[in-house]
Amino acid sequence: MNENTTRLTLSDRVTIEAGIYARKTFKKIARDIRKHPSTVSREIKSNSTKVAGERHYGKDCRYGYGCKFKNRCGDEKCNRRCASCYKNDCRAFCQKYENEPCNLLKRPPYVCNTCYLRRKCRTDRTYYSAKHADAVAARRYSESHMGIRTRGEELENMDNIVSTLIKKGQPLTHIHAEHGEKLGVTERTLYNYIDAGVFSIGNIDLRRKVGYRPRKKSRAQVPGFVNQEHRKGRTYEDFLKYTESNPNVPVIEMDTLFGVREQGKRLLTMNFNANNLLLLFLMRDGTADTVIEVFDYLTSLLGCAETFRKVFPVILTDNGSEFKRVRDIERTVEGQRRTRIFFCDPYTSWQKPHIEKNHEFIRYVLKKGKSFNQFTQQDMTLLANHINSVRRAGFNGCCPYELVVDPNIKLLLSLLGLEQIPSDGVCLKPSLLNQR
């Protein structure tokens, strides 16, 4: 056999797909495309398409859909089926739980194309499609051969746009979302160009490139801490169970930032996970009383506890002492419920990642160790406007303001004086607030 050593073409992949449906062996398929059988095997394993199976009530058990087991946890008073229980995870104690992939995927042809059970199968499946496989292979090949291909005036114009806006403190994601069509390259390519030194800026001008530190290991259990009274029924595990049983409920992450530790004004931050919209409230100190004052202020601004509950239905926060008066935060003076509070585990800031990312934007302007005493709420409103006008790659280049659709949230933004800043006017440098 005179084997051709070049890369597989779309025609070769069509022949492979047809051979799979014809139930040919890899040896026969390899003979048709003049390749070695191991090439066919690697091609199918590397470039096949995976399709997730059904997740009954969010659980990955292959028997979950038709499961009728009850009382597996030992609670004989419970009449709910274990698979749909939100109090206990049946996977932890059910002997029938299984999430192993189908055994047919462990032997040739390694895909489900010809399986007669594929239409009724509820487990994870894998298919080989010539068109999709060719696209995956082309993308992989392209990424492995990336280089500096832009030259001359085109590169100079690109440098003028990117470098000017980077020096204003704008993130590269925001710049690409606004000027990507004019730049004509991907965001990843811009990072490669900066790393290669072809722009007038370098990696030192990219905050995250030089400032990222490895995440510390979490300490989930801290003696004498996790059993505090105000956390009962409001732990992170309780939060996961609540959101699993109420999958469409909006979640808001909340935290506080200080300028100088234990001194002066603090910043209360609230982040809407659905669109990364950030609210900033300057407080006179970091006590529980001032946090409650902000909640009472927002309730009066929105008119009633019911509207507040529509805007802030579920809040996830950390374990700061300023959030311990849960009853006063969750309810108004008249006793009306306005929200639900849940707490992250100790030393696990990654459990509220959305607000931590927006805190990074805040620190671009308000440096650590600098007092907040010189600022006013108007300054924080200006800062929030600039942060909320930054375009995000995770939202297809849209900024948080453009993603707000809830009329109640739009009303709140109007009442707080929050509005979008023109893209090229976004500034995330200390000069935004004229700091000395």
Question: 264-274, pLDDT tens digit by residue?
Answer: 889 999 999 99
pLDDT at 243 > cutoff 70: yes
The CA distance from 276 to 288, in Å, is 25
Per-residue pLDDT of 379-397, as tens digits, reads 999 999 999 999 988 888 8
pLDDT at 146 > cutoff 70: no
- Are residue 135 and residue 249 in the same domain, yes or no? no
Query: How large is the average pLDDT for residues 356-378?
Result: 89
The CA distance from 220 to 183, in Å, is 45
Q: Over the chain, what is the mean pLDDT?
A: 84
Per-residue pLDDT of 160-186, as tens digits, reads 899 899 888 888 889 988 888 888 888
- Are residue 137 and residue 158 in the same domain, yes or no? no
Residue at 388: amino acid letter: N
Flag whether 201 is in a domain: yes
Query: How large is the average pLDDT for residues 357-382?
Result: 89
Q: Single out the residue in 118, 145, 172 at which a domain terminates.
A: 145
150 — pLDDT class (breaks 50, 70, 90):
low
Alpha-carbon distances of 422 from 31, 145, 178, 389, 399, rounded to whole Å = 60, 36, 10, 8, 11
pLDDT confidence of residue 419: 93
- Are residue 279 and residue 181 in the same domain, yes or no? no
- Are residue 193 and residue 271 in the same domain, yes or no? no
Flag whether 115 is in a domain: no
- Are residue 293 and residue 421 in the same domain, yes or no? yes
The CA distance from 15 to 427, in Å, is 55
Least confident of 154-168, 219-233, 299-313: 219-233
Q: Single out the residue in 89, 117, 145 at which a domain terminates.
A: 145
295 — pLDDT class (breaks 50, 70, 90):
very high
159 — pLDDT class (breaks 50, 70, 90):
confident
pLDDT confidence of residue 368: 84
pLDDT at 40 > cutoff 90: yes
Query: How large is the average pLDDT for residues 357-364?
Result: 90
Flag whether 1 is in a domain: yes
Work out how many domains the chain is built from and give that number.
3
- Are residue 260 and residue 313 in the same domain, yes or no? yes
407 against 218, higher pLDDT:
407
pLDDT confidence of residue 197: 78
Flag whether 299 is in a domain: yes
- Closest Cα partner for 84 from 191, 244, 267? 244
The CA distance from 332 to 304, in Å, is 9
The CATH number of whichever domain residue 353 belongs to comes to 3.30.420.10
23 — pLDDT class (breaks 50, 70, 90):
very high
pLDDT confidence of residue 401: 94
75 against 401, higher pLDDT:
401
- Are residue 188 and residue 269 in the same domain, yes or no? no
- Are residue 344 and residue 264 in the same domain, yes or no? yes
Flag whether 82 is in a domain: no
Flag whether 310 is in a domain: yes
Per-residue pLDDT of 65-120, as tens digits, reads 678 787 777 777 787 788 777 777 777 778 777 777 788 888 888 999 888 887 77
The CA distance from 233 to 236, in Å, is 9
Flag whether 394 is in a domain: yes
Flag whether 316 is in a domain: yes
pLDDT confidence of residue 335: 86
- Are residue 204 and residue 243 in the same domain, yes or no? no
pLDDT at 356 > cutoff 80: yes
- Are residue 242 and residue 166 in the same domain, yes or no? no
- Are residue 275 and residue 386 in the same domain, yes or no? yes
- Are residue 201 and residue 267 in the same domain, yes or no? no
Residue-number span of the structural domain to which 207 is assigned: 148-211
pLDDT confidence of residue 320: 86
225 — pLDDT class (breaks 50, 70, 90):
very low
The CA distance from 320 to 255, in Å, is 8
Distance from first CA to last CA of the chain, Å, rounded? 77
Residues of the chain above pLDDT 70, percent = 89
Query: How large is the average pLDDT for residues 273-302?
Result: 91
213 against 353, higher pLDDT:
353
Q: Single out the residue in 211, 242, 262 at which a domain terminates.
A: 211
